[in-house]
Amino acid sequence: MTAAALPAGTIADEPNRLGLGGYVTCLLGIVWREVMRFLHQRERFFSALVRPLIWLFIFAAGFRQVLGVSIIPPYTTYVLYETFVMPGLVGMILLFNAMQSSLSMVYDRETGAMRTLLVSPFPRSFLLLSKLLGGVFVALLQAYVFLFIARLWEAWTWSNQDPILTNIAATWQQFGVVDPHLSGYLTVLPALILSGLMLGSLALFMSSVIKQLENFAGVMNFVIFPMFFASSALYPLWRIKESSILLYEICRLNPFTHAVELIRFGLYGQIGPPAEQASQAAADGWSFAVVNGIDLTHLYVVVGCTIFFLGAAVYAYNPSKGLIGRRGGAGAGA
């Protein structure tokens, strides 16, 4: 039987199935699989919100009187600790969701689902990128739910002497005027996507290193927690610098710090600090990319780390060169 006589859907029909429509269908299928997995795991949604909400509702109330926040970009006045810590808590959601995605990759590899995905005719790099985009989409849903709750908490106005409807009306009025401006939730979207891609790429690479689910606890202790706490997520870096120069340098070199700052500026419609603050940052060795009077260091670091981590993940999942192939993992024989 010649190739022309082969029925549709066989190997001879491969080029047609791998056209643009095939790639779009594959991408949507993988993203939808991640969304459906997330929807069927409701405890995952609530657990992702519990961590940042506990810090916002409980820890921030106690630290408000201890940690003063001076006027630093992008803020134009003194802000409460709850306002300062909100971008860091959004970063926490992105970070832990990325690690959850890494855990699911290890689980899929142990159950054989990863082999089924990687032996498809689509390029392995495209499959990993689709998996990454699916995880980022799920993280965006969680981040915006948290941002809504955080804004409602900041706008909450309640008086036992006023009727319930009066309290609700006062809260709704405050909801539209508290910081950041409502437009900030739109301008922060690119920062959330870039930060999610960076952390998701790191998680993809880590999933190639983690051999078993039991090893994930070690990853939590030696990667996630140090990355989160040694950053500007919970406290301004100028306070860290006053207490420890070494810790300040560690925080400055932490990619998660730049992701948090990119989100912080994005909430106020900015990409980075203006030139006057950028010059001081350059003197401290912090800034290296000032364009048109705006410091783009945070943007460049996040984009650069995303490219590096994603490239490392694609290499690690290469069956002939990467870590998976050397260990004979999922798809090693693909």
- Domain residue spans of the chain: 13-327
Is 89 in contact with 232 (CB distance < 8 Å)?
Answer: no
User: What DSSP character marks residue 157?
Assistant: -
* Two structure tokens written together for 70: 């001076």
> What pLDDT was estimated at residue 11?
43
Is 188 in contact with 144 (CB distance < 8 Å)?
Answer: no
Distances (CA, A) of 90 to 94, 124, 198, 302: 7, 30, 14, 16
| Residue 325 in this model has a pLDDT that exceeds 60 | no
> What pLDDT was estimated at residue 119?
72
User: What DSSP character marks residue 120?
Assistant: S
3-state secondary structure (DSSP) of residue 178: coil
> What pLDDT was estimated at residue 164?
64
* Most confident option among 15-19, 44-48, 245-249: 245-249
CA atoms of 92 and 107, how far apart (whole Å): 22
Q: Which residue, among 84, 87, 196, has the nearest Cα to 141 in the 3D structure?
A: 196
Between 133-142, 210-219, 258-267, 317-326, the lowest mean confidence (pLDDT) is in 317-326
Average pLDDT (212-227) is 76
Region for 285 from its dihedrals, namely left if φ exceeds 0, alpha if ψ lies in -120 to 50, beta otherwise:
left
> What pLDDT was estimated at residue 17?
56
User: What DSSP character marks residue 274?
Assistant: B
User: What DSSP character marks residue 77?
Assistant: S
> Partners of 231 in the beta sheet?
none
Place of tokens 């820890």: 59
Is 138 in contact with 36 (CB distance < 8 Å)?
Answer: no
Residues in the chain: 334
Backbone angles phi, psi at 7, to 5 degrees: -70, 160
Between 86-90, 96-100, 144-148, 287-291, the lowest mean confidence (pLDDT) is in 287-291
Task: Report CA torsion sign: 179, 185, 186, 191.
Answer: positive
Neighbours of 302 (CB within 10 A): 23
CA 257, chain centre distance (Å)? 12
